[in-house]
Amino acid sequence: MDYNAKLYDMPHEKAWCPGCGHFILHRYLREALAELHIPPKNLVFVSGIGQAAKLPQYMKGNMFNGLHGRALPAAMAIKAANPTLKVIVTSGDGCSYGEGGNHFLAQIERNSDIVHIAHNNMIYGLTKGQASPTSLKGMKTPVQVMGVTNEPFNPIAVAIAMGATFVARVFVGNKEQTIDILKQAINHKGYALVDSLVQCVSMNKLNSFQWYKEHTYIIEKDHDIHDRKAAFAKALEHDPYPTGIFYEEKGKPVFWEQSAAYKKRTDPLYKRKGDIEKLKVLIEAKRSI
């Protein structure tokens, strides 16, 4: 198989605005997968609703497109059913941290063995351009006409505080760093968050590509990614916003390994034959309650 970025591309038209940052992240993800030599049949892309959530439709591999904010639990279940798959969630900041905020916390606690790429353009880009959880305070939108009053949600700090085993931020203006971090996240065993700064050219005129370029910096090489306290301190920095790997912890048990289904057997769930008689007994037992 010839592993290149084109291998993972669905050649039909992409329903994103010209200049959208999702195009760039789409290309970088394909390049990362090509460098890792992962066959499309071994990939599952999962998303909720939104502009970023369209990405699985433009990737060659398996996909699941679910409800707004509900991508993460579906991804966890897919990985548990077949741990040999690489499961990658791609959704926006609204879907990931707003509607999906509770699931975001749950996946960290369970250390589900998935990659979570949050396309963070600091706006709800699919609907009316209203403020998202990460929109900057004071930013004016068609809905928040007097300016956003909420403090912006900090997914990096929350993920580290909750015990996430891989936490990173990228800006699509940094190609080499972004591809390298995507590769490391995909190879990481455990929940891996990659908060990805992308521009929304239609709904967010403030946080443009140039704005991100001027308001971010690459984390110093001497930063210890295994020092949780140092990672948390780095996560609190803003304007400029650090990009890179904040924290990584290896060896922590993942969700599917700890589930009852894998305590005595190691074969994937999808290969097991169900016992219809036992299922009938269970159903009848519930009916009698």
Q: For a pLDDT cut of 90, what percent of the chain falls above it? A: 91
Q: Is residue 266 part of a domain?
A: no
Going from the C-alpha of 134 to that of each of 11, 153, 156, 208, 231, the distances in angstroms are: 32, 5, 11, 14, 20
Confidence of residue 154 (pLDDT cuts 50, 70, 90): very high
Q: Is residue 151 part of a domain?
A: yes
Rounded to the nearest 5°, which phi and psi values hold at 245? -90, 120
The mean pLDDT of 47-66, rounded to a whole number, is 95
Say what the pLDDT of residue 246 is. Answer: 98
Counts for the chain of helices (H) and strands (E), in that order: 10, 8
CATH code, domain carrying 169: 3.40.50.970
Provide the residue type at 190 as one letter: G
Q: Is residue 223 part of a domain?
A: yes
Q: Is residue 161 part of a domain?
A: yes
Residue 289 confidence (pLDDT) above 80: no
The DSSP secondary-structure symbol of 100 reads T
pLDDT tens-place string over residues 114-146: 999 999 999 999 888 999 999 999 999 999 999
Give the domain extent around 56: 5-254
Please count the other Cβ atoms lying within 10 Å of the Cβ belonging to residue 101: 17
- Mean of the per-residue pLDDT values for the chain? 96
Say what the pLDDT of residue 128 is. Answer: 83
Whether 38 and 1 have beta carbons less than 8 Å apart is answered as: no
Say what the pLDDT of residue 1 is. Answer: 80
Q: Is residue 265 part of a domain?
A: no
Query: How many separate domains does the chain show?
Result: 1
18: its two tokens? 């010209």
pLDDT tens-place string over residues 176-214: 999 999 999 999 999 999 999 999 999 999 999 999 999
Q: Is residue 284 part of a domain?
A: no
Q: Is residue 277 part of a domain?
A: no
Confidence of residue 58 (pLDDT cuts 50, 70, 90): very high
Contacts of 68 (CB under 8 A, 6+ apart): 48, 49, 50, 95, 99, 100
Q: Is residue 262 part of a domain?
A: no
